[in-house]
Amino acid sequence: MLERFFPDEYMESTYSIDFEKLYEKGYRGIIFDIDNTLVPHGAPADERAEELFRRLKKIGFSCCLLSNNQYERVSSFNKNIQVSFIENAHKPGRKNYLKAMELMGTNLKNTVFIGDQLFTDVYGAKRTGMYNILVKPIHPKEEIQIVLKRKLEKIVLYFYRKELRRRKNS
């Protein structure tokens, strides 16, 4: 039952992902959550985020930001990034994951989703049938509803790690 929330990969940080390797594997589109995936919650795009998107474009990726935040937050973050974006995305609903791929000209086989929350980001990507990478949140300061979800995420991640160990020992 909890498997529906298990990420395909779990990484320390967005910035530790080997994007060149993803490109070699055939991925051409990346959909990103913003808050606590690319920058701390509510922060503007910093030099590290801007450099990441320059690098991704140079590699050959199409990118799209998919956020449950409102237009003002997402458009201001995207000011120097300059990629497609969808605000007020209603994750984990499937509709805007599909719309993001349409904007990028990609499909389920060559698109990956990267986010920091299991119950919105990963679950939505899994429901859509998209490869996904969960990253650890950048900063611990979060809104109360997210803090409560993090407690539940710890339980799911416990069973996720247990399943990984079981597979490794089989």
Residue 143 pLDDT > 70: no
For residues 92 and 84, what is the distance between their CA atoms, to the nearest angstrom?
19
Among 145, 143, 141, 122, which Cα is nearest to 132's? 122
For residue 97, give both structure tokens. 């994951």
Among 129, 137, 91, 124, which Cα is nearest to 109's? 129
Which tens digit of pLDDT belongs to each residue from 56-66? 999 999 999 99
For residues 109 and 164, what is the distance between their CA atoms, to the nearest angstrom?
23
Sign of CA dihedral 62, 139, 44, 89: positive
Residue 50 pLDDT > 80: yes
Q: Read off the pTM.
A: 0.90
Write down the number of H helices and E strands in the chain: 6, 6
Among 64, 68, 65, which Cα is nearest to 105's? 64
Q: How many angstroms separate the Cα of 127 from the Cα of each of 4, 131, 134?
A: 8, 10, 15
For residues 31 and 28, what is the distance between their CA atoms, to the nearest angstrom?
10
For residues 49 and 87, what is the distance between their CA atoms, to the nearest angstrom?
18
Least confident of 29-33, 118-122, 164-168: 164-168
For residue 36, give both structure tokens. 């606590």
